[in-house]
Amino acid sequence: METESTPLLQRPAPWDPRRSAIAGGLVLVTLTLERLAFYALVANLFLFLSLGGWSPRGSMTAVLILVGVAHFSALGGGWLADGLVGRYWALVIGLSLYVIGFTLLSVMASGVLCHRSPILPSCVPETYGILICVGIAAGTVRANIPSFGAEQVKYGGADSLRKFFNWYYWCVNTGSLLGVGALSYVALDMTDGFLRAFAGTGGCLLMALILFSLGRPYYLVHRPAGSVLRSILCILRDAIGGCCCQPGQGSIQSSPVLERHNLLSQQSAGHQSPVSTAQAPSWLDYAKIRYGGSHHDAAVEDVKRLGIILILFTSLLPYWLVFFQIETGFQEQGLHLKIGFPQEGKGSNFNMPTAWLSLFDQVFILALIPLMNGIIYPTLDKIGVRVSLLTRIATGMGFSLLAAVSAGVLEFFSVQQWREGYGVIQVIHNWTYNASDISLLWQIPQYCLVGSAEVFAGVAGLEFAYSAAPRPLQGVAMGMFSAMEGVGSLLGTTLISALSPVWIRHDSQHFQGHLDYYFFLLAGIQGVAFVLFASWLVVRRYRIRQEIPGDITT
């Protein structure tokens, strides 16, 4: 692992543009194929399980567990790389687990592993075992491939990392487009569609593993140097122990960091008279050597800053609750909207796969990012309007709120249409669904709003994880960011369990439930978080004149 004390950081390796181009290209191709497989599974898993006899509650829960494990296991994937095997071998292990998981999914889709009853779900333990295997593989790759790719190009100049991460994000969305678009069509319209889809994605993952392994001679590979997670735990242990051992009236001592911060604040505000800066130490300060601990001030201050970052990530939980509706609630809603479209010159209708609607999210992202980076942000900079990371996160929360409201309104009118007798009966994979006569295309606004939220809150959160974290803890911050997504997914699972079967019912009783109430509840949760976050941001703006200029968190 690359750390502050790694000699390579002090004496950069000789720059080889050809080696860097090959290494970076192989990493990006691997990323594209891996994201293709992951998003293809996430987008089609709900329908795959539903057609196997799973209830909406069971299918949505399985999707959320897969996504939650994929995100939450990123911390374990980072620890595996940092403390045991290094990033290269962690990625090899992750891709190998991927291939095993999709091979088992293909066997399950063929009916060999277990019988998929059209009435009752079967092989539940085997299904969850496979999904957990795939989720751990995804988390391991997600935790290490950004940093590993950056290591291959970082010595190419000041803008090399920026270019790499731009390409990184585009490859993520390209893989998603291919996986959701092509493989959703294969799964819906071909004989043994899910078998072909899962076998195809498994082949893509095997190709990714082979290509990534062949690039070993071109990679810059760093040996593991011990995980910073252990240091963080030691600091927390010393802080708790030191705090508990202090007498009730503990002495008040001054923190050099606070003294410097307050001095700069006074100078920026025009104050010349000295002000007492003595403050009682925080509980983490007791891990410092000066307070009886065993850690240097800088290490403890880094952990303090990591705690602030964690609080910000926690405020994004409602955003993730809405974001994950793309694979769960929105698809449940889409199954009960009219998917058939007349084909000119043909006597039959074309049935649009419900998973295709998520393509609008991806296309909107790919179109909006160049617009924001190439036109909107530069124009605002020219007129002196600075869009900070926190402002972008708040804007994303606003779009997330609108997406949940849009889905709730659509579901409300869909239920009304059905109850007034304007409904259709549609067959998907030989399974009959009751649906209103409202077109599936009315879901496009909510998908585009989720895409807008991702461009602002998702991208800004990712940038914040890299930029605001102390350099020695950037990997941990990225793991925390991914893990918080997993927490949001698991919270969604809990929420669905609490609301079923009152609001979210079986497909045959869909219109007797209240999926619209579920969407409005999500909107309410996101709305409260948005108001609190925006209020805090406004209050902070009043105080920012007292802060150090250029603070990344402003």
pTM listed for this prediction:
0.70
Domain-wise residue ranges, the chain: 1-226, 228-244+253-295, 318-554
254: which 2 tokens?
Answer: 């001054």
How high is the pLDDT of residue 96? 95
Tens of pLDDT, residue by residue over 225-264, are 555 667 777 887 777 776 666 654 444 444 444 444 444 4
DSSP secondary structure letters along 249-296: T---B--HHHHHHHHHHHHHHT--S-----BPPPGGGGGBGGGT-SB-
CATH class of 1-226: mainly alpha
Element (H, E) at 350: strand 349-351
Number of H helices, E strands in the chain: 20, 4
Angle between helices 444-453 and 389-419 (to 10 degrees): 160
| Distance in angstroms (rounded) separating the CA atoms of residues 391 and 372 | 14
Chain mean position to CA 80: 20
How high is the pLDDT of residue 408? 93
How high is the pLDDT of residue 122? 58
The dihedral region occupied by 369, where left means phi > 0, alpha psi between -120 and 50, and beta the remainder, is alpha
| Distance in angstroms (rounded) separating the CA atoms of residues 145 and 514 | 41
Contacts of range 413-418, beta carbons closer than 8 Å, 24 or more positions apart: 413/438, 414/333, 414/336, 414/337, 414/438, 415/511, 415/514, 415/516, 418/336, 418/511
How high is the pLDDT of residue 210? 95
In this structure, what are the phi and psi dihedrals at residue 166, rounded to the nearest 5 degrees? -60, -50
Low-confidence residues in the chain, pLDDT < 50: 1-12, 116-120, 248-278, 545-554
Query: Is 1-226's fold the same as 318-554's?
Result: yes
Residue tagged 């409260």 (tokens): 528
Tens of pLDDT, residue by residue over 82-121, are 767 878 998 999 999 999 999 998 888 777 766 544 334 5
**CATH 1.20.1250.20 applies to domain 318-554:** yes
Half-sphere exposure of 403 (CA within 13 A, CB side): 29
Residue tagged 């998520």 (tokens): 358
